[in-house]
Amino acid sequence: MPSTQLSQAAWINGGRSLRPPQYANLPANELTNAAVEQQKITELRMRKSFGSSEAGATHPGDRRAGRLLAQLAPPPAAAGSPAPGPPLRSPITTHVLDTCMGRPAPGVKATLARLAPGSAAAWQPLAAGQTDKDGRIGNLLAPSGTVEPGHYKMTWDTAEYMHRCSRQFPDFFPPGRRFYPSVSVEFEIHAGQEREHFHVPLTWNPFGYSTYRGS
């Protein structure tokens, strides 16, 4: 009998007819069930590996899992060492928002100064920066976890920013019609606040501005 006919005929073995096995589920369902069972086996092995070391594991797969987990585990902290804190950043930052255009204000120059101790008018320059495309200056001061108490002043050069905007949007920023050539805000940092972060946003338009302590 040709092989093609043999593949379609029943096989006779000991008087019993053997046909290809019949499945109750579709092949896709059988594959899904097999994957679920394999996942259960993997989870059992991982739980076992978490609870045992490589030396105590008997199955080769468990020993491999134990070695992998040992490599991924962070080194133990030294006794008495402080817990790692958040990354350091400039303790004073700012963010400028142009409420006339409804967007961040990029390229705004800003300076930070502190009142000299014992003086009522002598300002000591501390830092200068320029807002990025999102209107922020996040690196005004060197990254630190503390800041000195004192009387501070931040100044934004809004005249230069408005001059640039008036060339692009003369209807919103009429040339020569500025009202606030610059904006200065004074704020105080008191004793006991040395470890706090001070964010000083500015919402600005050609005829008004506001500020507040942000987060």
- Which pLDDT tens digit goes with each residue over 24-63? 667 767 777 777 788 778 767 776 666 555 555 566 656 6
The tokens describing 85, both together, are 């804190």
Cα separation of 34 and 26, whole Å? 13
Q: What is the pLDDT of residue 4?
A: 47
pLDDT, greater one: 212 or 174? 212
Kindly report the pTM of this predicted structure. 0.60
Domains and CATH numbers, the chain: 26-73 (no CATH), 92-211 (2.60.40.180)
More confident residue, 137 or 54: 137
Residue 10 neighbours by CB under 8 Å, 6+ apart: 17, 18, 19
pLDDT on residue 57: 54
